[in-house]
Amino acid sequence: MKVRVEIVRRPEIADPQGVTVVRALRELGFGEVAEARFNRTIVLDLDGTDPLSARARVEEMCRRLLANPVIEDFDVQVIE
């Protein structure tokens, strides 16, 4: 089963990569770009078949390891 985790840095925490990319895009002529935020997504391949328990387990993985509660939120989706 495939589960997709998106780790999102809280909006109030700076994102230097985003800032740099906005500047670079504008230089390339994409003046319409107002903001860019980088997130990390992790696609997990899990043994097992029950989507519900899978989601619960992955949320547990996020709380313990995958996300840093100090600066990040996470979002879990079972994709197949």
Partner 1 sequence: MNVDEDAVPSDEEGPNEEGPEQTVHRLLGLTDEEYGQILSTLGRDPRPAELAMYSVMWSEHCSYKSSRVHLRRFPTTAPWVVVGPGENAGVVDIGDGWLAALRIESHNHPSFVEPYQGAATGVGGILRDIFTMGARPIALWDSLRFGPLDQPRNRYLFKGVVAGIAGYGNAVGVPTVGGEVGFAEHYSANPLVNVMCLGLLRPEQLVLATAGPEGTMAVLLGAATGRDGIGGASVLASASFADESANKRPSVQVGDPFEEKKLIEACLELYERHLVVGVQDLGAAGLSCAVSEPAARAAMGMELDLDMVHVREPGMTAPELLMSESQERMMAFVHPDHLEEVLEVAERREIRASVVGKVIRGGQVRVLHGGELVAEVPAASLTDDAPRYERPLGEPGWMEDLWGNTVKFMAQPAIATSLLQMLAEPELASKAWVYEQYDHMLFLNTVVGPGHDATLLRIKGTNRGLALTTDGNGRMCYLDPRRGAGRLVFEAALNVAVVGAEPLAVVDNLNFGNPEKPEVMWQFLETVEGLAEACEALGIPVIGGNVSFYNETEGLDIYPTPVVGMLGLVENMPSPAPRLDRVEDGMDLWLFGPEWSINLAGSAFEKITFAHVGGRPSPPDPTMARAAIASARKLAGAGLPVIHDISTGGTAIAVAEMCIASEVGATVAYSDWRHLFCEDPHRFLVAATPEQGNTVQSIASDIGIPAARIGVFGGSEIAFDRRGVKAVLDLAVATTTWQNAIESRLS
Partner 2 sequence: MISLASDRTSGSPPIGTVRVAVIVFPGTNCELDAAYALELAGAKPDLIWHRQAQLDDFDSVVLPGGFAHGDYLRTGAIARFSPIMGPVGEMAAAGKPVLGICNGFQILCEAGLLPGAFIANSGLSFICRFVEVEVASTSSALTHGTTAGQVIRLPLNSYQGNYVDPTLTGRVVLRYMDNPNGAQGGAAAVANEAGNVVGVMPHPERAIEANLGSEDGMILLRSFLGAGPIETGRTPVGAQPESTRSGG
User: What radius of gyration, in Å, describes the C-alpha atoms of the chain?
Assistant: 16
CB-count burial class (<10 Å; 0-12, 13-18, 19+) for 22 = middle
The answer to whether residue 71 forms part of the interface with partner 1 (CB under 8 A) is: yes
Nearest CB to partner 1, comparing residues 17 and 41: 17
Given a copy of itself, partner 2, partner 1, none, residue 78, with its beta carbon under 5 to 8 Å by kind, binds: none
The answer to whether residue 77 forms part of the interface with a copy of itself (CB under 8 A) is: no
The answer to whether residue 12 forms part of the interface with partner 1 (CB under 8 A) is: yes
Judged by CB under 8 A, the chain residues 20 through 39 that form the site for partner 1 are 20, 23
The answer to whether residue 44 forms part of the interface with a copy of itself (CB under 8 A) is: yes
Alpha-carbon distance values, 31 to 6, 24, 35, 52, 67 (Å): 28, 10, 11, 43, 33
